[in-house]
Chains A and B, each alone.
Chain A
Amino acid sequence: ELKVEQNPLFLSMQEGKNYTIYCNYSTTSDRLYWYRQDPGKSLESLFVLLSNGAVKQEGRLMASLDTKARLSTLHITAAVHDLSATYFCAVDEVSNYQLIWGAGTKLIIKP
């Protein structure tokens, strides 16, 4: 059974700092997604990582995928308050047509 673990589950940080969210998964997969969710809202797609070594960047966020280590990271550079949200990683269990989700990392960035 595919399992996805995120850590930390909660992160409070000051503006201007850097930090990394980790996403580990238990079986082989080369398809991983990062989503953002604001309180009471739906899921917004951030990154689609489809191969080993994939790295994608958007603004202050950068995501990478290491399929051999079964690890993806979401790095936040010089955090700003607007990045406060819950971030989820999801692994594509292609053979079963479903996404397996991490528990989410609630990120609070204090101005």
Chain B
Amino acid sequence: QQQVKQSPQSLIVQKGGISIINCAYENTAFDYFPWYQQFPGKGPALLIAIRPDVSEKKEGRFTISFNKSAKQFSLHIMDSQPGDSATYFCAAQKGGSARQLTFGSGTQLTVLP
């Protein structure tokens, strides 16, 4: 059962453009939603995260938009750069002591120079 659905699978954007990656979740027990960036052969790096009590969080060129009623959240990368080319994963974490992460399937972003 895929609890976090991520789209698109791949995305190609011109330099300076906006990259948008979407995720949808099913379990309303999720209470923390991070995004990770992964370069080939490396471990994922925490990029930005949001809790459901806010609708938007911005850090530099990266913004998370969160729609609790629709159970959807998205990552926006403004002024996309070739160095942003990587695989991006959304994730969701349930409340409770274990704090396990459930990951989306990933989006491979390519930013053309």
Co-assembled chains A and B: no
Question: Using a CB–CB distance below 8 Å, which chain A residues touch chain B?
Answer: none
